Structure 1
Amino acid sequence: MGSEKQTVSKNGGRHLKLNIGLIVFIGIFIYLIAIGLSYLMRNHISFYEVQQGWIVDSDTFTGFILRNEAVVNTGQSGYINYFVNDGAMVAREGNVCMVTTNAGSSVQGTADGSALTLNGSDYSDIREQVLSFKKKYNDSDYASVYDLDYQLGNIVSNIVSRNNINSMNQADSTNGYTVMTADQSGIVSYSYDGMESYTQDDMTPELFSARNYEKSQLSAGMKIDSASPAYKLIYDDNWQIVICPTADQYKRLKELDTVNLQLQRDNITVSADVSTFQKDGTDYVSFSLSNYMVRYCNDRYIDIEIIWDNHDGLKIPKSSIVSKNFYRIPADYLQTEEESSESGFYSVDNDETVFIKPIIYAQNKEYCYVDCADIAEGTVLKKPSSDETYTIGETEALKGVYNINKGYAMFRLIDILYEYGDYCIVSDKTDYGVTLYDHIILNGSSVKENDIIY
């Protein structure tokens, strides 16, 4: 009853008739198994797409700021108010602050509980500080919130001082007051930390931890005692940033006269003069600047970054790099054919001179480099207008990668600009080199030139 047919032979035996469909199915099954085994056993090739990139070699430091500055003490106790803003310039004999026995108003409010009077400029200053903070704020640098608090506190202090001084000028007050003037011209600051007299001789490694650092801030309406700090005066715009580098960093900096520093808080890059010194066996480096001091007049510590090298180009992994031998030919044998204006060499064969034009993959002042497949070893080249000859034979290995854009491995030269970690930056202007978005073999040693990639 089945679909298989049976036949009877003359001797009474029986045999099955072959099923063609079954044979085809078995053949396909065996083929698929063979393909699967071949896939599992072969070396799998990974590729990398060339991208535009850059590598920055830099080091960050926390620097200690030195300035030509001094704290000015008051001669009497009382309540202090200021004529000039924090960070503003004052002339010699110019009014800086006033100490009075009348409390007046303070940063916390007026003495009678009334509100402070703010004008349009005051609102503009506050708005500018908040917007500037908003643009630069990053959660990883939460400490910048304290900078905002300090700046806003200074603005409010200036407003309080203005109100108090105006009130005293308008009132018929019998209360005594003292106006303090600057002994020299300079920049006024209303913060101090007791390190104003520090010099390079006072440097110690512990100073750079900043763990126990404390800074005091003066504000309008504050009660101060006699002989206590009233303000700080910075006498010029010159300042120093001192760092305590590692031995390797110190060695690199000692060889430099100037260096570019990035002041990280404001993302400002400045040029600074470099000097090195030692104190008690510890190496220090000092950077001298004459710009932007006023932006950091209330700071003792500053985060800076030194950019040693900055290269941009095409970014490729080091694992892709391979070497290939090229014939090395003296550059003065390279000539330009008058008829075609093409470059090549004059080859001597059986007293006959022939102009050959192999591809020049690379060239410098001394040599030209030709693919070994483009010219035969032992070829004799002749220098024009001379009896000198050169026999092809010397080779030199050049670095490159395998490009697989066309489905097989093609060697392409690279000019390495900079190496860092697992990657390097190569020039995008190399003849017979790689270009943006090329596909290259990730592990260059896994294939050979002209291998078909599938």
Structure 2
Amino acid sequence: MSSRNKKVVKYRKPVHFNIGVIVYLFLFIYLLIIAISFLSHKRLTLYEVVEKKIADDNSCYGIVLREEEVFTSKKAGYISYYVGDGERISKNSTVYSIDETGDIYSKLASSEVEREISSDDNSKIRNQIKSFQSSFDESNYSVVRDFKYDMENTILGLNYSNISEQVNGILNKTGSSAAFQLVKSEKSGIISYSLDGFENIKEDQVTSETFEQDYERQQLRTYDVTDSNTSIYKLITDESWSIILNLSQEQYNKLVEKETVQKQDGASVTYVNIRFMKDNLKTKVAFSTYTKGDAFFAKLILNKYLIRYMNDRFLEIELSLNSAEGLKIPVSSILEKEFLKIPKEYFSEGGDSNEKGIVKELYSENGDVTFQFLPVDIFYEDEKYVFVDKSVVKMGDWIRNPETQKRYQISEAGTLEGVFNVNKGYCVFRRIEKIYENEEYCIVAPDTPYGLSNYDHILLDAATAQENEIIK
């Protein structure tokens, strides 16, 4: 029995492969390779070039100075106005009437005269509401006060616009009265019914603290009885006016630089472009700069738009100091590249094509000279030279003019600023011409020869790729 047991051979089961496990393992390895490739792959970010305007924020506040004179009533009584706000009047024009007893005034108040609002008046009201909506700021309550004043002023102006005819009608019926008096203007000018306490301020009185004072306008026109020596109206007697700007040191330095450049060019008066933030009006004005202690100021001199801002004392102004229009690109996309400079006269069209290139001299071991036409991509050209890539020719190579047989040894190089254009799917250097630059973006001239155009695609960061690298 024992010998028979020794001859027993153990049975081995055949190996069975599980196809599901194999497929799963294959997919796992494949996805792992893709993930590693994705994480290790250099990702390039593209940027679309668009035509825009770029500007530094140079807004500041200014106080308006005008030739103004306030006129008061000599008697107490009820006032009726005959002139609208912002109208020009001549000397001895009737401005208002004063009724000491109130008889004429009460007849005016009780008279029912229907007046249809004209399209101009309606448009004026709409524009005031629209201007308020566009400039409203919850953190600036003075905007609400100004809007309230402007609307009151407009409505009062509509009520008083036909009062002269009503007064004449009442006087014709009741006869004149010693208690009723028509008051005429002592001077000519532009009439205003706004009072703010800054009517007599002069340029040398303006300090930084002036802009920190509480400011509120007073409406002079009223339906209530007025006392004697009460302010009734204000006349602006000169249409020339000025704005004193309270500047930061940086804004002051930029204006001084602009002032210096203009004077070096022979200008006797210096100018700056500004924008009124209230209604986006843009204009060019004369200016001068000065300091007072450690404060910085500029004086803007104007002879237009007085009526437009006649009831404003403080205005926010944007100075157009550093601004430009063109193609906007990020600073990170800009790089410098060195090129070889070849005189224009050595360029020709070669062979059966219209490609421009140069004729290079080639030397054999036995000293024989042959000539090779090399098509060349032009990256920039000035009046004398063409800038070509250093991969085509190198410093010290000889080239020849095929027409004159004149020889030239390449010996000059030049550096150009540019970006990597990727419209073709790979990085191609394109030269740029800067117009303006700040810390993040710059404006370059559009459609320059061998340069960029609107909607071109460039590499966001020039340091992340090499020239001719394919964009994946």
Q: TM-score band, normalised by the shorter chain? A: 0.7 to 0.9
Cα distance in 2 between the residues matched to 1:17 and 1:443:
57
Q: Which residue of 2 aligns with 1:213?
A: 215
The answer (yes or no) to whether the contact 1:86–1:154 under 8 Å persists in 2 is: no
Alignment of 1:308-319 (within 5 A): 308-319=321-332
Question: What amino acid sits opposite 1:55 in the alignment?
Answer: I
Deviations 1:341-381 (A, max 9, x none): 97655655567777755222112245421111222332224
Alignment of 1:16-27 (within 5 A): 16=14, 19=17, 21=19, 26-27=25-26
TM-score by length of 2: 0.80
Question: What amino acid sits opposite 1:412 in the alignment?
Answer: R
Q: Does 1:174 align with 2:177?
A: yes
Alignment of 1:37-56 (within 5 A): 37-56=36-55
Cα distance in 1 between the residues matched to 2:149 and 2:401:
73
Q: Does 1:371 align with 2:393?
A: no
CA shift for structure 1 position 53 = 2.4
Q: 1:30 to 1:393 in 2, by over 3 A?
A: farther
CA shift for structure 1 position 189 = 1.0
Q: Does 1:117 align with 2:113?
A: yes
Deviations 1:269-292 (A, max 9, x none): 122111223445533211111111
Q: Which residue of 2 aligns with 1:362?
A: 380
Q: 1:318 to 1:242 in 2, by over 3 A?
A: same
| Alignment match of 2:124 (pick from 118, 122, 129) | 129
The answer (yes or no) to whether the contact 1:418–1:425 under 8 Å persists in 2 is: yes
CA shift for structure 1 position 135 = 3.8
Aligned length, in residue pairs: 439
Alignment of 1:22-171 (within 5 A): 26-103=25-102, 114=110, 116-120=112-116, 122-138=117-133, 140-141=135-136, 143=143, 145-159=147-161, 161-162=163-164, 165-170=167-172, 171=174
Q: 1:13 to 1:426 in 2, by over 3 A?
A: farther
> Which is further off, 263-272 or 427-436?
427-436
Q: Which residue of 2 aligns with 1:269?
A: 282
The answer (yes or no) to whether the contact 1:74–1:230 under 8 Å persists in 2 is: yes
| Alignment match of 1:411 (pick from 429, 449, 468) | 429
The answer (yes or no) to whether the contact 2:67–2:238 under 8 Å persists in 1 is: yes
Cα distance in 1 between the residues matched to 2:216 and 2:210:
12
* Aligned-partner SS, 1:248: helix
> Which is further off, 71-80 or 342-351?
342-351
Q: Which residue of 1 aligns with 2:187?
A: 184
Q: 1:334 to 1:283 in 2, by over 3 A?
A: farther
Q: Which residue of 2 aligns with 1:451?
A: 469
CA shift for structure 1 position 192 = 1.9
Cα distance in 1 between the residues matched to 2:150 and 2:344:
67
Q: 1:222 to 1:388 in 2, by over 3 A?
A: farther
| Alignment match of 1:294 (pick from 292, 307, 312) | 307
Q: Which residue of 1 aligns with 2:262?
A: none
Cα distance in 2 between the residues matched to 1:220 and 1:124:
25
Q: Which residue of 2 aligns with 1:243?
A: 245
* Aligned-partner SS, 1:84: coil
Q: Percent identity?
A: 31
Q: Which residue of 1 aligns with 2:272?
A: 259
* Aligned-partner SS, 1:138: helix
The answer (yes or no) to whether the contact 1:105–1:164 under 8 Å persists in 2 is: no
Q: Which residue of 2 aligns with 1:231?
A: 233
The answer (yes or no) to whether the contact 1:412–1:432 under 8 Å persists in 2 is: yes
Q: 1:130 to 1:48 in 2, by over 3 A?
A: same
Question: What amino acid sits opposite 1:223 in the alignment?
Answer: V
Give unpaired runs (5+ residues) of structure 2: 1-7, 138-142, 260-269, 364-368
Q: 1:438 to 1:270 in 2, by over 3 A?
A: closer
Cα RMSD after superposing both structures: 3.4
Deviations 1:105-147 (A, max 9, x none): 87xxx56863652423x45454222221344343652526335
Deviations 1:227-266 (A, max 9, x none): 3322111112101011111122122223330112212222
Question: What amino acid sits opposite 1:269 in the alignment?
Answer: K
Q: Which residue of 2 aligns with 1:430?
A: 448
Question: What amino acid sits opposite 2:12 in the alignment?
Answer: R
